[in-house]
Structure 1
């Protein structure tokens, strides 16, 4: 099985995975130019993997894509691109919450019974986060719901249920003081290849309903206060 994995919740990150092995990868760290960087990153990853750069001829079996939470524009660009690539290749596309990916990668380095709070920068001096436990060796279980808000709200949650903070980047400067007393776990750049493990674990359990590609915005976009249009 060969999968193309794309995430644009922060940077633009692309990997090509074959039977669990990363064959090619590409990354653009810009958090604001996803639309321009996705196709070049995909082509670079396919070329590094030794596959045709035409996705319809690359022998891919599936596309996996991060569904956020993330700001509107970058996330939309990633999801639309993933659907286009999948349609061109005639293969399924599976969505995975980007915080699930961060939590799973961190738990790979921790005791399986560790509580983790996976977080990313939501801008506006806010954070996105979710509270997780491991669900087997390849998946995670969200406790409660995904949140967006100020660090003080996350700090209050940590007082109710202790856990390690895990992230794809250092805690943003706007939230450092509020989270100064929290215990940090692994800080690892988001690895899209982790999505393959999560997708396969969920499919094996009949959990395809957890692999939809609807975007997780968690709040309205900065466009005249309107709700996000459906994709």
Structure 2
């Protein structure tokens, strides 16, 4: 199955990934933009780089659902949904923190736990805690939440003997509270996003209740609010 993967929880990432029923997941082509404030402008050219002008065969779409700031996350979700609708194919959503967790557990092995922390701006982080669920999925133990780095560290007892390994860009921003493990990923890998979708589709087919919806995870209200309607004079 060929899956078009998009994630705009940080920068903009687009990839075409081959996920055979058996065997290794392979990224066929990928492209990324690093500006976290220009998602809407960058997605179309990135998709053209990945798919070509002919828009070659795609069987499904996978999209990161955040958590992330409103504008960038919305751009990715709307693009994924529009592309899938135009092709008549399914679109599957995965929490972007789940992807980073699976990447980290691939490095660490399946016995430990990880705390994924990413930049939420406003001197806060988005975070969630995980352990492995088989070789290709994760179980979320806490979160996702948006708090200060200090609060995230306290909630997960990072000074304790059984503290999880910290993963993600939040650790680089707030090292006094969130000290990252060595060699840990900082951005979601599209191949791992596709792996999670494949694993969850298999679990769904086996009768499990799995989460693949595309509802955005904003965790807070957008920075820009529409003005309230004026009150009518009595």
TM-score with structure 1 setting the length: 0.87
Change (3 A) 1:120 1:183: closer
In structure 2, the residue matched to 1:140 is 138
User: How far is the alpha carbon of 1:89 from its aligned partner?
Assistant: 1.0
Q: Is 1:4 equivalent to 2:1 in the alignment?
A: no
Deviations 1:112-157 (A, max 9, x none): 0111001110000000010000111110010022110101111112
The question of whether the paired residues in 2 share the 8 Å contact of 1:121 and 1:172 is answered with no
> How far, CA to CA, are the matches of 1:187 and 1:96 in structure 2?
17
> How big is the alpha-carbon RMSD for the aligned residues of Structure 1 and Structure 2?
1.8
User: How far is the alpha carbon of 1:177 from its aligned partner?
Assistant: 2.3
The question of whether the paired residues in 2 share the 8 Å contact of 1:119 and 1:129 is answered with yes
| Structure 2 unaligned residues grouped into runs of 5+ | 20-24, 228-234
User: How far is the alpha carbon of 1:54 from its aligned partner?
Assistant: 4.2
| Structure 1 unaligned residues grouped into runs of 5+ | 48-52, 227-231
TM-score with structure 2 setting the length: 0.86
User: How far is the alpha carbon of 1:15 from its aligned partner?
Assistant: 0.7
User: How far is the alpha carbon of 1:188 from its aligned partner?
Assistant: 3.6
Q: Is 1:213 equivalent to 2:181 in the alignment?
A: no
> How far, CA to CA, are the matches of 1:208 and 1:88 in structure 2?
27
The question of whether the paired residues in 1 share the 8 Å contact of 2:171 and 2:180 is answered with no
> How far, CA to CA, are the matches of 1:108 and 1:81 in structure 2?
29
The question of whether the paired residues in 2 share the 8 Å contact of 1:14 and 1:192 is answered with yes
* SS of the residue 2:126 aligns to: strand
> How far, CA to CA, are the matches of 1:73 and 1:89 in structure 2?
25
Q: Is 1:171 equivalent to 2:149 in the alignment?
A: no
User: How far is the alpha carbon of 1:26 from its aligned partner?
Assistant: 0.2
Deviations 1:67-111 (A, max 9, x none): 000000000000000001101111000000000000011111112
For 1:1-231, what aligned pairs fall within 5 Å after superposition? 1-19=1-19, 20-47=25-52, 53-55=53-55, 58-159=56-157, 162-167=163-168, 169=169, 171-173=171-173, 175-179=174-178, 182=179, 184-185=181-182, 186-206=184-204, 207=208, 209-224=210-225
> How far, CA to CA, are the matches of 1:38 and 1:121 in structure 2?
21
The question of whether the paired residues in 2 share the 8 Å contact of 1:61 and 1:91 is answered with yes
> How far, CA to CA, are the matches of 2:170 and 2:147 in structure 1?
17
* SS of the residue 2:215 aligns to: coil
Deviations 1:182-209 (A, max 9, x none): 4525134321221111111111111564
> How far, CA to CA, are the matches of 2:17 and 2:180 in structure 1?
33
CA radius of gyration, larger in = 2
